[in-house]
Amino acid sequence: MLVLLPPSEGKAEPGKGEPVDLDGLAFVEVLSEHREAVLDAFDPALRKAPAAPAAEVYTGVLFKRLELPRVPAKARRRVLIFSALWGVVRPDDRIPYYKLPPKAKLKKIGAPAAFWRPVLSEALPDEEGELIVDMRSGAYASFWKPKWATLLPVRAFSERDGERKVVSRMAKASRGDVARALLSAKKPPRDPEGVAALAEAAGLRVELNDGSLDVIV
């Protein structure tokens, strides 16, 4: 199982520490050249800014509910965080504070999604039978989709008088709750039914619909 996360708009700025080591980031063999290009186009000074683990830099609603720094190290290896700047990082990858929206357009780069999509398809694991639980928002979901693995997006709905509506802010909290349940489990789930069972055991109301896990809040 892999868990895909978006970055967060809310970020903590590392006060001190060594700068980012591009050679130490996930999938360096494939993504390094693209990271260099985006840094040059966006803000070369970030190469010298203090860096901290991504799990500590990202501080938005989803990450507060997930409490990623408290997740066991072995489980954190199952998490990939998508980023307009880095392509994708793991929770323990050290990065600086930055703000680069996924729909920004950079000189010589253009839209990040289109720039990253081909190289992420080359770098990321995609095997038949692999379960990938997708917590990303639509903008980051467009960066990469597997061809062979089972992709399970997580959605959130409010329900009143039998009518359901998609929710935005609560979707982030709900996805954080689901991610925490999955990454805290002794054994990772192997299929969507296993994901639903773990979410229900954590006290969440969920349903499997149209290839997605729906959280009812």
Examine residue 212 and state whether it is found in any structural domain, yes or no. no
Examine residue 189 and state whether it is found in any structural domain, yes or no. no
Examine residue 39 and state whether it is found in any structural domain, yes or no. yes
In terms of residue numbers, what domain contains 46?
2-153
* Tens-digit pLDDT profile for residues 50-109: 999 999 999 999 999 999 999 999 999 999 999 999 999 999 999 999 999 999 999 999
Sequence-ordered list of residues with C-beta below 8 angstroms from that of 91, at least 6 positions apart, any chain? 53, 54, 55, 68, 69, 71, 76, 79, 81
Token pair of 128 as six digits: 């038949």
For residues 31 and 115, give the distance between their C-alpha atoms in angstroms, rounded to a whole number: 11
Q: Tokens 């494939």, residue?
A: 30
Examine residue 182 and state whether it is found in any structural domain, yes or no. no
What is the model's pLDDT at position 46? 97
Number of domains in the chain: 1
- The answer to whether 165 and 157 have CB atoms below 8 angstroms apart is yes
- How many Å separate Cα 189 from the centre of its chain? 18
Question: Which residues sit opposite 163 in a β-bridge?
Answer: 160
Examine residue 41 and state whether it is found in any structural domain, yes or no. yes
Examine residue 177 and state whether it is found in any structural domain, yes or no. no
Q: CA angle 127-93-91, nearest 5°?
A: 65
Examine residue 201 and state whether it is found in any structural domain, yes or no. no
* Tens-digit pLDDT profile for residues 99-139: 999 999 999 999 999 999 999 999 999 999 999 999 999 99
For residues 172 and 15, give the distance between their C-alpha atoms in angstroms, rounded to a whole number: 27
For residues 133 and 149, give the distance between their C-alpha atoms in angstroms, rounded to a whole number: 10
Examine residue 213 and state whether it is found in any structural domain, yes or no. no
